[in-house]
Amino acid sequence: MDDLSLHVLDIIENAVTAGATNVEVRITDDERQNLFMIEIADNGRGMDKETLKKAIDPFYTTKTVRKVGLGLSMLAQAAKEAGGKFGVQSQPGRGTKIHAHFLHDHIDRKPLGDMAETIAAFIAGNGEKVDLTYHHRKGDQEFFFCTTEIKKVLEEITICHPEVISFIKREIRDGLKSISKRSKI
């Protein structure tokens, strides 16, 4: 996987598999502190200590179709390669929080990639049953997006409608561009 956004997609899909109805994605892009950070929280079924320990092992999965689970271990690996840290906190019945830190200027830090595409693809597939919030800080500027606000104005139309998905993609793309331009640090 070349882009961190694809890792994000993988992790938020884990949340859906775990029965989450709420997913929160937070990205911090702070060159001044030489920090790039991805945090993802969900309210899914969570993991007990033993599952959690195994979860970051590349050979562990609760999926029955394939014996190797890669999502978490690949993000952990990507963070390690970029001088960073990776951690998972989880409580059965409450949810899971994942964080991955990277050194911003590390030569092996993968680019973020297209978050607008990632979030839009996730909503197209899961938007009816899962709500998502997305915070993105670039330097001193922040962008915020949430599906509950979109749903309020949509009324009868599904959030998965192709035109709504195109709108969401544009919204996020423009929002990210604008914070990038305005940030003074």
Binding site for ligand ATP (CB under 6 A): 10, 14-15, 18, 42, 44-47, 51, 55, 60-63, 69-73, 96
Which one of residues 71, 95, 127, 175 is an interface residue with Mg ion (CB under 5 A)?
71
Q: Are the beta carbons of 69 and 55 closer than 8 angstroms?
A: yes
- Three-class SS string for 10-38? HHHHHHHHCCCCEEEEEEEEECCCCEEEE
Using the minimum distance from each CB to ligand ATP, give the nearer residue, 63 or 161: 63
Listed residue (148, 152, 143, 151) closest to 171, CA to CA: 143
The CB density around residue 140, as the number of other CB atoms within 10 Å, is 12
- Closest approach, Cβ 10 to ligand ATP, in A, equals 5
Using the minimum distance from each CB to ligand ATP, give the nearer residue, 63 or 129: 63
Within 104-133, the residues that bind Mg ion by CB under 5 A are: none
- How far apart, in whole angstroms, are the C-alpha atoms of residue 175 and residue 167? 12
Using the minimum distance from each CB to ligand ATP, give the nearer residue, 72 or 82: 72
- Closest approach, Cβ 140 to ligand ATP, in A, equals 31
- How far apart, in whole angstroms, are the C-alpha atoms of residue 121 and residue 48? 30
Q: Tokens standing for 110?
A: 């993968």
Q: Which stretch binds Mg ion (CB under 5 A): 8-16, 31-39, 50-58, 99-107?
A: 8-16
- Cα dihedral value 6, 108, 40, 75, nearest 10: 70
Within 13-52, the residues that bind Mg ion by CB under 5 A are: 14
- Closest approach, Cβ 183 to ligand ATP, in A, equals 31
Using the minimum distance from each CB to ligand ATP, give the nearer residue, 52 or 154: 52
Q: Who contacts 6 (Cβ-Cβ below 8 Å, separation ≥6)? A: 113, 118
* Contact residues for Mg ion, defined by CB under 5 A: 14, 71
